[in-house]
Amino acid sequence: MSDLYAHSPNDQGAWHSLKNHLQEVADLAGQFAEAFNASNLAKWIGLWHDLGKSNPAFQEYLKTCTKGEFTQRVPHAIWGAVIAYRTLGNTERWQEIVLPIAGHHAGLYQPGELSQKIVQSLAENKDLLKTVAETAKALPDLPKCNFPEVEKRQREFFIRMLFSALVDADYLNTEQHFNPAMSEKRKTFPEMHELQIRFNEKQNTLLNKTQESSSVNRIRHEAYHACIKAASGPAGIYRLTVPTGGGKTRSSLAFALEHAVKNEMKHIVC
Average model confidence (pLDDT) for the chain? 91
Q: Are 192 and 199 in contact (CB under 8 A)?
A: no
Is residue 255 domain-shared with residue 229, that is, in the same domain?
yes
Q: Are residues 86 and 150 in the same domain?
A: yes
Asked whether residue 247 falls in the same domain as residue 210, the answer is: yes
Domain presence at residue 51: yes
Q: In the prediction, which pLDDT does 212 show?
A: 59
Per-residue pLDDT at 269? 77
User: Does 37 lie in the same domain as 126?
Assistant: yes
Domain final residue, candidates 188, 217, 234: 188
269, part of any domain:
no
To 10 degrees, what angle do helices 18-33 and 152-178 make?
Answer: 130
Range of the domain at 23: 5-188
The average pLDDT across 233-248 equals: 89
User: What's the half-sphere exposure (Cβ side, CA atoms, 13 Å) at 156?
Assistant: 5
The answer to the question of residue 82 being in a domain is yes
Number of domains in the chain: 2
Give the Å distances, CA to CA, from 169 to 2, 31, 49: 22, 9, 11
**136, 167, 188: which is the final residue of a domain?**
188
Cα(75)–Cα(50) distance, rounded to whole angstroms? Answer: 10
Tell me: the pLDDT tens digits for 37-53?
A: 999 999 999 999 999 99
- Mean of pLDDT values over 12-26: 97
- pLDDT digit string (tens) for 214-230? 778 888 888 999 999 99
pLDDT digits (tens, 9 = 90+) for 115-165: 999 999 988 888 899 999 999 999 988 888 888 888 888 999 999 999 999
pLDDT at 176: 97
Residues 104 and 236 in one domain: no
Q: Does residue 229 sit in the same domain as residue 172?
A: no
Task: Specify if 160 maps to a domain.
Answer: yes
Q: Does residue 267 belong to any structural domain of this protein?
A: no
**CATH number for position 87:** 1.10.3210
Task: Looking at the structure, tell me whether residues 200 and 178 fall in a common domain.
Answer: no
Q: Contact 79/128 with Cβ under 8 angstroms?
A: yes
In a domain, 243, yes or no: yes
- The pLDDT of residue 208 is above 90: no
Spatial distance between the Cα atoms of 73 and 260, rounded to a whole number of angstroms: 40
Q: Identify the pLDDT of residue 187.
A: 82
Of residues 224 and 189, which shows the higher confidence score? Answer: 224
pLDDT on residue 149: 86
CA 172/CA 180 separation, integer angstroms: 10
Residue 210 belongs to some domain of the structure: yes
Q: Quick one: pLDDT at residue 126?
A: 86
Per-residue confidence (pLDDT) for residue 243, from 0 to 100: 86
217 shares a domain with 179: no
- DSSP label of 264: T
Question: What length does the chain have?
Answer: 270
Spatial CA neighbour of 100 closest among 177, 191, 26:
26
Do 104 and 199 have their domain in common? no
The reported pLDDT for the residue numbered 211 is 60
In this structure, the answer to whether residues 232 and 255 fall within a common structural domain is: yes
Measuring CA to CA, how many Å separate 234 from each of 156, 238, 269? 22, 10, 18
Query: For position 210, what pLDDT does the model report?
Result: 67
CA dihedral (26, 188, 190, 27) in degrees, to 10, reads 10
pLDDT tens-digit map of 27-84: 999 999 998 999 999 999 999 999 999 999 999 999 999 999 988 999 999 999 999 9
The yes-or-no verdict on residue 1 having pLDDT over 80 is no
Q: Percent of the chain having pLDDT more than 90? A: 69
Residues 165, 200 share a domain: no
Q: What are phi and psi of 180, to 5 degrees?
A: -60, -30
Name the domain boundary from 134, 164, 188.
188
Residue with the larger pLDDT of the pair 172 and 219: 172
Task: Quote the radius of gyration of the chain (alpha carbons, Å).
Answer: 22
Classify residue 268: in a domain, yes or no.
no
Tell whether the model's pLDDT for residue 200 goes beyond 80.
yes
The whole-angstrom distance between residue 49's C-alpha and the CA centroid of its chain comes to 11
Same domain, 223 and 149: no
